[in-house]
Amino acid sequence: MIIKGILDPEDARDAVRFGADGIVVSNHGGRQLDGVLSTARAMPAIADAVKGDIAILADSGIRSGLDVVRMIAMGADAVLLGRAFIYALATAGEAGVAHLLELFEKEMRVAMTLTGARSIADLGTDSLVPNSIPHL
């Protein structure tokens, strides 16, 4: 079971206690929860609370490979590409999705090169500008 919509570290701890397999840190794109904490702002505290105890997925506001790198650096184990994927599919079908994934991969490689990360495992909070992380 994966629980979506986690924005609070205590809710993440509850998910671990309840035996969930994973959580999705998400504000549902801000559509229903306008003005609520963004996924990027919530991620560091949630990762501090439950990283290693449960799978952490990030959702909401992922628009580029750089966004994927940022979320992983802040503690996500995986990143969901829902809206971008759907737009690419609607625009150009399978070829659109393939193109989107190529773009994301290239953007991720550039970001990782610029931060000195040789692999996804090398990404961490030290890969980010300190002021860009809410709790540092």
Q: Is 99 labeled as catalytic in the residue annotation?
A: no
**Which pair of tokens denotes residue 1?**
């079971």
What CA–CA distance (Å, rounded) separates 30 from 35? 7
The answer to whether 79 touches 47, Cβ cutoff 8 Å, is no
Active-site residue among 13, 28, 51, 83?
28
* Strands 22-25 vs 2-6: parallel, antiparallel or unpaired: parallel
Output DSSP code: residue 32: S
How far apart CA 98 and CA 124 sit, in angstroms, is 28
Q: Which two tokens stand for residue 63?
A: 């628009």
What are the residue numbers of the active site? 28
